[in-house]
Amino acid sequence: MSLGELLDGDATGIAAAIARRDVTPTEVVAAAIDRIAERNPALNAVIAERAEAAMADAAAVVPGAAPLAGVPFVVKDLGAKVAGSPSTGGSRLFAIDAAPADTELVARYRRAGLVILGMTNTPELGLSASTEPVLHGPTRNPHDRRRSPGGSSGGTAAAVASGMVPVGHASDGGGSIRIPASACGLVGLKPTRGRTPTYPIPGALSAPLSVNHALARSVRDSALLLDVAAGPVPGDPTMAPPPSRPFLDEASAAPGRLRIAVSSARPDGTPVHPDCAAAVRDLADLLASLGHEVSEAAPEIPLDGSMTALAIGMAAPLASKVDARLEELGRGLADDDLEPFTRVMYDVGKGLTGVDVVRALDAVEQVAQAVGPFFARYDLLLTATLAEPAPELGVLDTTKPEVMYARAGDFSAMTSIYNITGQPAISLPTGRDTTGVPIGTQLATAFGGEALLLRIAAQIEQARPWPTRPAWPTTL
C-alpha cells in the first residue's frame, strides 16, 4: 500500500500499519505535511502549521506503544490549546502568538500517540455555523469550494474530508461537530454533556452546552478517539456516566432490535429541505430492512425554553470572556476587536442580569426534562442533521448581524436541542444533495448513550458503507 492510499484510510488503519512497521511515523507525518502544503492553499483549513515540531514529535514515537501512535492530527483553534502554537479562537481580540501549555484534552491526545500538525480554522469564538472569520478568511468545502464546510469546526472538517489528516479535534456547542460532519461527509459524534474535559478552560456556564470530541471518516475512529479523550478532571462542573466497557468495543457490537422514531420536520414542525428529507427516508428504510422497529414520531420540544437557554447560554459566557481578555490587555474594547455579530452578542451579554442567567440554567433543565421521556419510549430518534444542504459561502455573514439573526437558526435547528439536553447525537454521511455534496443524517439517544449510537452507526456503516476517499485527487 502506498503512503497516499494509507492516508486515504482511517486513523485506526494508519496506526496498525505503523505498529506493524510497514511504515514509519516520520514517513506518515511527512506525507501528511506534504498534503497540507498541497491542499490547504485552496481550502484554508489549517491556519497555523507546526511542521518542524510535528516531525520532531514523530521521530520520538514508538510504533505500537499507544493506540494511535504516529497518526497525524489537527486541533481546532477553539476549545483546546497546543503548547507553542497560536491560539486565536478566530478572533482578533483573542489572538496570541503561542499558548503556554497544552490543555488536558490535547495532553490526552498526545499520550495516545497522535502527532499534531497544526491548528484549524473556526468562526470567531464559534458563533457561526459557517467558518468564515474575518481574522483568517473563509474555509472552503472540499466537495464544492463555493460552499461552506459548516462550522464552527469547519477547518477540521475540511482538513479531514480533503485527506490532509484522517481525524481531527472538534467541539460542539450548538451543532459545531455535526453541522460540518454533514456538510463535508464525515462521522461527527457529539458526546454526552461532561464526557470530555475542557480543563483548564473554565466552562461552568458554557459546559452545559458545549463538549469536545472529533471529526472522523469511520465509526471506529470516532469510538477510539472517545476512549482516548473521555473522563473527568477533578473540579469539572458536569460528569457523564462512565461507560461499561471501551467505546471501541461498542463499535463492533450488535445493536439488537431497536425502537427508532423518525422525523423529517424541524422542531417547529416545518419540513426540512427535500434533499435532507430524502436522506432521512432512505436511512429509515435501511434501518427497517435491518430489522429495527421504525415509526414516525418526534418529541415535543419547548421552543421558548430552548431559545432562552441558547441565547443566554451563548451571550453571557461571551461577555465574561471578552471582559476578562480586555482586563488582561489593560484596555477597553476597540471598534475592530470583534466582528459585528460577535459585538451584538457581547452587548446582549453585558445587558443580562444574574436573574437572566438563572433563567437560562432553569431552561436547560426544563427542556431536558420535557424531551427526556421520549427516549424512554424510543431508543433512537432519526432526523436530518441540517435542515438545508450546505450553504454557499457568504450566506452566513457575521459582518451583518441582521443576516445572522435571519438565517443562523436554520442551520442549527436540528442539532442545538441536544446541546441543551446534554444528550449524545451523531451525524453520519449517508446522503447527498442533487449536486453530489454530502448530507448527514442525525441519530440521537438518551443521556449517556454513546455506546448505543456507536453500535447502530457501525451497523449502518457495514450495511451501506459511505465514501471515505478524500474529496481531492490523490497525488502522493
Active-site residue numbers? 76, 152, 176
Could you tell me whether strands 72-76 and 115-120 are parallel, antiparallel, or unpaired per DSSP bridges? parallel
Q: Which of 449, 366, 376, 367 is nearest to 416 (CA)?
A: 367
HSE toward the beta carbon, residue 308, CA cutoff 13 A: 18
Q: Which of 59, 450, 9 is nearest to 247 (CA)?
A: 450
- Rounded to the nearest 10 degrees, what angle do helices 219-229 and 450-463 cross at? 160
Grid-cell match 483568517, residue found: 136
DSSP assignment of 312-350 = HHHHHHHHHHHHHHHHHHTS---TTSS-HHHHHHHHHHH
C-alpha cell at 303: 421552543
Phi, psi of 335 (to 5 degrees): -60, -30
E-assigned strand segments in 15-100: 46-49, 72-76
d(CA 317, CA 177): 20
Residue type, 312: I
Phi, psi of 402 (to 5 degrees): -65, -35
**Residues 32/62, Cβ–Cβ less than 8 Å:** no
d(CA 202, CA 321): 10
**Residues 445/420, Cβ–Cβ less than 8 Å:** no
The enclosing H or E element of 219 equals: helix 219-229
C-alpha cell at 64: 505500537
**Residues 29/70, Cβ–Cβ less than 8 Å:** yes
**Residues 150/184, Cβ–Cβ less than 8 Å:** yes
d(CA 68, CA 115): 9
Residue type, 337: D
Beta bridge partners of 118: 49, 74
